Amino acid sequence: MLQVSLPHYLVVGALLFAFGLVTVSTRRNAVGVLMGVELLLNAANVNFVAFNHYVMEGVSGQVFGLFVIVLAAAEAAVGLAIVLAIFQTFKTIDVREADLMRE
Amino acid sequence: MKSNVGKLIFWVVVSALVIGFVVAITGRAILPAAEAAPLTAGGAAGLPDVVFYALAAVTVAGAAGVALSRNILWSAIGLLAALLGVGGLYVMLSADFLAVTQLLIYIGGVLVLVLFAVMLTNRIVDVNVSNVSAGLYGGVLIFVATIPVLLTVALVTPWRLRAIGEAAYTTGLIGNALLTRWLLPFEVASLILLATLIGAVVTARKEIKAD
């Protein structure tokens, strides 16, 4: 099926999601884990917008996508602030080394 | 520390469970629920389809780069490619406002923030799993566990597609929607941004040690 339709976009979303999941699970760098989370959110966003274009009337899917972008930016900011705080405390951002609850 | 034999048995059991789960879910739950949807229907590929395939290739290659790179900076470049590709896909889906927002906020904000964090904490050299196969094999297992189920659902389900009319500028439509139907999430999102601002500033402050 060469002509592009909804399943093609869903496949792209699925691949993005799987790679994001692999990144979150196997990265040792905390910033790498956050990059994986961004991939997961983008995968969900692609699904939202694809369904909005091919199945739904109106722009509700795009509004949802907008909220996902806003929340992803907010979460990236707080997550990276936490990574910086961890770096100041543990002098490393290896997720296996940050294993104390309080310094 | 597990011995080598213990580790091998563990990974064999986990692999068997994952493969069993994938086969069971796909065979029992997804395939019977789908009618016989013709997978080979559709016309020939035109220029927009070629553009889609190019953008999709860039996106998936970027995502693979994020997941599999040894160097964290190559992961950041892969993330840039993935975000650019997704922005292009939004344009193909006639979501013009969302595409520009993606470029502005995700690439111009989040990616720059990620690069800042990478540069400021750049003391780690070995940032990915090394030749030890446990981590890499776990990643492959996770990939194998998610992809078949998702692909089957995407390709087999008979989606009810609507008749797509002419593409309209979505900026006004999104603005109207945000102020009529989606007003409450809009206000909550602004509250979340305020909380994020305060939280990020408080969290990343350097403690002034009292001597």
Average confidence score pLDDT of chain B: 84
Q: Percent of chain A scored above 70 by pLDDT? A: 98
At B152-204, the pLDDT tens digits run 888 888 888 888 888 889 999 999 999 999 999 999 999 999 999 999 999 88
Q: Which residue of B has its CA nearest to A14?
A: B150
> What's residue A103's pLDDT?
55
Has residue A80 been placed in a domain? yes
Higher pLDDT, A4 or B184: B184
At B36-59, the pLDDT tens digits run 555 555 666 788 889 999 999 999
Residue in A1, A19, A73 nearest the CB of B105? A73
> pTM of the prediction?
0.87
Give the distance from residue A66's alpha carbon to the nearest chain B alpha carbon, in angstroms: 7
User: In whole angstroms, what is the distance from residue A17 CA to residue B146 CA?
Assistant: 9
Is residue B13 within 8 A of residue B141, CB to CB? The reply is no
Summarize the confidence of residues B22-43 as an average pLDDT. 66
Residue A5's SS3 state is coil
- Residue B19 confidence class, pLDDT cut points 50, 70, 90: confident
Residue B210 has pLDDT above 90, yes or no: no
At B117-157, the pLDDT tens digits run 888 876 555 444 444 444 778 888 889 888 988 988 888 88
Name beta bridge partners: A29. A94
The number of distinct structural domains making up chain A is: 1
At B56-69, the pLDDT tens digits run 999 999 999 999 88
Q: Residues of A with CB below 8 A from B72's CB?
A: 29, 31-32
Has residue A56 been placed in a domain? yes
> Which of B165, B117, B55 minimizes the C-alpha distance to A81?
B117
Summarize the confidence of residues B72-86 as an average pLDDT. 94
Q: How many CB pairs under 8 A join A and B?
A: 255
Q: At what angle do helices A6-26 and B47-68 cross, to 10 degrees?
A: 10
Q: Residues of A with CB below 8 A from B120's CB?
A: 84, 87
Residue that is written with structure tokens 């350097």 in the block: B206
Interchain proximity A19–B60, CB inside 8 Å: yes
Interchain proximity A60–B177, CB inside 8 Å: yes
A89 in contact with chain B, both atoms CB, cutoff 8 A: no
Q: Residues of A with CB below 8 A from B74's CB?
A: none
Has residue A86 been placed in a domain? yes
Q: Residues of B with CB below 8 A from A92's CB?
A: 123-124
Structure tokens at A34: 């956050």
> What's residue B204's pLDDT?
80
Cα A7 to chain centroid, rounded: 21
Has residue A101 been placed in a domain? no
> What's residue A20's pLDDT?
95
Residue in A19, A58, A87 nearest the CB of B64? A19
Interchain proximity A81–B204, CB inside 8 Å: yes
Long-range contacts of B112-119 (CB under 8 A, 24+ apart): B113/A76, B113/A77, B113/A80, B114/A31, B114/A34, B114/A35, B114/A38, B114/A76, B114/A80, B114/B76, B114/B79, B115/B76, B116/A80, B117/A31, B117/A34, B117/A80, B117/A83, B117/A84, B118/A31, B118/B72, B118/B73, B118/B76
At A46-88, the pLDDT tens digits run 999 999 999 988 899 999 999 999 999 999 999 999 988 888 8
Is residue A75 within 8 A of residue B200, CB to CB? The reply is no
Has residue A42 been placed in a domain? yes
Has residue A53 been placed in a domain? yes
A71: domain CATH number is 1.10.287.3510
Interchain proximity A1–B40, CB inside 8 Å: yes
**Which domain, by its residues, includes A65?**
6-90
Q: Which residue of A has its CA nearest to B84?
A: A42
A5 in contact with chain B, both atoms CB, cutoff 8 A: yes
A98 in contact with chain B, both atoms CB, cutoff 8 A: no
CATH hierarchy code of domain B45-128? 1.20.120.1200
Long-range contacts of B21-30 (CB under 8 A, 24+ apart): B21/B145, B22/B144, B22/B145, B22/B148, B22/B149, B25/B149, B26/B148, B26/B149, B26/B152, B30/B149, B30/B152, B30/B153, B30/B156
Has residue A96 been placed in a domain? no
> What's residue B103's pLDDT?
95
Interface residue of A6, A63, A71, A95 to substitute, partner B, most B CBs within 10 Å: A63
Has residue A59 been placed in a domain? yes
A59 in contact with chain B, both atoms CB, cutoff 8 A: yes
